[in-house]
Structure formats: C-alpha cells, structure tokens
Amino acid sequence: MVNTTLLELLPAPETPPTHLHQAMHYAVMGPGKRLRPLLTLLAANVATDSPVLPGSHTLRMACVSELVHTASLILDDLPCMDDATIRRDRPCTHIRFSESTAILASTNLLNLAYGVIANCPNVDASTKVAVSAHLSHVIGSMGLVGGQVADLQNQPMGARSEIEQLYHQKTGCLFEFSVVTGARLMGQGAEVIEALTRFARAFGLVFQLYDDMLDHSIFALETGKDVQQDAGKTTLLSLYTPEELRGAFSDAQALAREQLRRAGHAESLLAALVEQQFATFNGAAQRLGS
C-alpha cells in the first residue's frame, strides 16, 4: 500500500520534464524496507486493529518521510558528498541519470513532501502546520542538513555524546518525525509525543550502529550499497570494543522499549516491528564480535 501510494503521489514518468520525473521514480521506487512509513502507520494505528485503507490520509502522510529519506539519499551519494556508486543494489541516481538531474530530483522530492502535507485530505489545519514545522526542523541545520555537514567535516569527536548527537541528526530525527506524525494524526497529546521522541532517539542510535556495521567489509555482500564509506571517520563502532558495543545495543534497546511502553505501545504492532528490527541488529552485532 505504501508503494501504491508513492506511485500516486509522484508525477507520472511520462509527464514532462520526463527525465526529471523518471529520475524521481527510479530513486523512490527502488527496493527498500519502507521502514519510516511503517513507523508512521503503526504509530497512528495504536488505538485500533482496523487496516489502513489504500489512498487514505494516513498513508499519504506516512509517505512523506519516504520522500524526504529518498531525497537525502540522492544527495548523500553525490560525488561532492560521499561519492557513492551503488544504492539499493542499483547504480546511484546521479550515475543512472546525471548529477544535475539527481540534485533537481532531490529538490523536487522535498518540495513534493510539503505539498503532500498541505493537500492531505481529512487532516485539520493545525495538524498540518505542526507536521510541516516539525519536518522543517528535521530537514534543516539541526537535523539532516546539519548532520550531513558534520559528517563531511569529519572533525575529531572525543565525546560519545557528540557522535550520538550526529547519529540523531543523520538518522534518529527522521524516525522521530515518522512516529510523531503518526501520533499527531491520532490526536495524541504532549506526553505521548515526548515518549515517542525519546524512543526515536534510542532507536536511531541502534539503527546507526547497525549501519556502521554494514559499512564494515564483512557485510559487503548484503548491504546493497558501497561499503567502507566511513573509513577514516570517527564512529561509535571505531570507539567501542565488542563487549561495549553489545552493551550499547542493550542499553539503547531497553530505553526504546521503555519509551514505547510510556507511549502506550508496549504490545502494539509498532513494538513488534521494533523487536523485529532489533533481532536483525543483534545478529549483526554478534557476527561482528565473533
């Protein structure tokens, strides 16, 4: 349903400018987990077991994070950024098309994300304003853009807290947007939103540690993207011993579970999805430490 909704939201590839729209389709519709939309859907569905209907406002809002995530990946892969060649088991967008087309496709995806929020049916104006303001913060210098700047500068970081903040900007903040948007669609209050915000920071830390492990050469065949992109960069993986890594995983997962419980998601489908992800992360950690 997420993929169907994304296709509905994207301009048709045969619509001029066709090259731009084809690049957008190539980047967005490539194989992916759709984890961020799932987080929104499950955070929004906590009070009911009824399925989300195709084309619903919840699905449209859930797709916003995927549009933004894809836009960030396009930019992250550019030669002036990480200079990557492979993304999701395929040539990066700038290689398949061109650097200029990739940049414009990314810009248009970000523009489209705000348009989806503004035009989403059956969502009140105050919720749209809150979601838009949150997204602006997540994308900006305190979020994805700031994280990318810090990553490119690669200045030495002595404190683990500094690296954890970088991880939140690179990864956790968009998880935060995803779950908080789901909560807002359900009309949840400040206490639930605060708990989900804390959950996202912990979940993002575990996720980014996992991503650091995927950058390790032993995972080269299963990443679907370039590896050893973090060579020479200070990461938590480079600072942790295997025992410390397992401890960090355990602590962050415990915090994430506790915050889900506080948000009313102790035995929800959202919690089940998170546990599924944790099982994958822990398996990779064990392999790296063996």
Question: Do residues 225 and 85 make contact, with C-beta atoms less than 8 angstroms apart?
Answer: no
Model confidence at 47: pLDDT above 50: no
Is the separation of the CB atoms in 58 and 32 below 8 Å? no
Neighbouring residues of 145: CB distance < 8 A, sequence distance ≥ 6: 139
Condensed to tens digits (0 to 9), the pLDDT of residues 199-246 reads 999 999 999 888 877 766 555 555 555 555 555 566 777 777 777 777
**Residue range 143-185, pLDDT digits in tens:** 999 999 988 887 766 678 888 899 999 999 999 999 999 999 9
Say what the pLDDT of residue 35 is. Answer: 96
User: What is the CATH class of 2-289?
Assistant: mainly alpha
In angstroms, the CA 278 to CA 139 distance is: 26
**How far, in Å, CA of 174 to CA of 171, rounded?**
6
CA distance 142 to 138: 7
The stretch 266-280 carries a mean pLDDT of: 92
pLDDT of residue 51: 60
Residue 271 has pLDDT above 50, yes or no: yes
The pLDDT assigned to 151 comes to 85
- pTM reported for the whole predicted model: 0.90
Inter-CA distances, 84 with 64, 93, 220, 227, Å: 24, 10, 14, 9
pLDDT digits (tens, 9 = 90+) for 11-36: 999 999 999 999 999 999 999 899 99
How far from 166 is each of 133, 135, 204, 211, CA to CA, in Å? 21, 18, 11, 13
Is residue 206 within 8 Å of residue 249, measured between CB atoms? yes
The per-residue pLDDT for 89 is: 87
Residue 84 has pLDDT above 80, yes or no: yes
- Name the residue with higher pLDDT: 271 or 157: 271
Q: Find residue 91's DSSP bridge partners.
A: 86
Res 233: pLDDT: 65
Per-residue model confidence as pLDDT tens digits over 102-133: 999 999 999 999 999 999 999 999 999 999 99
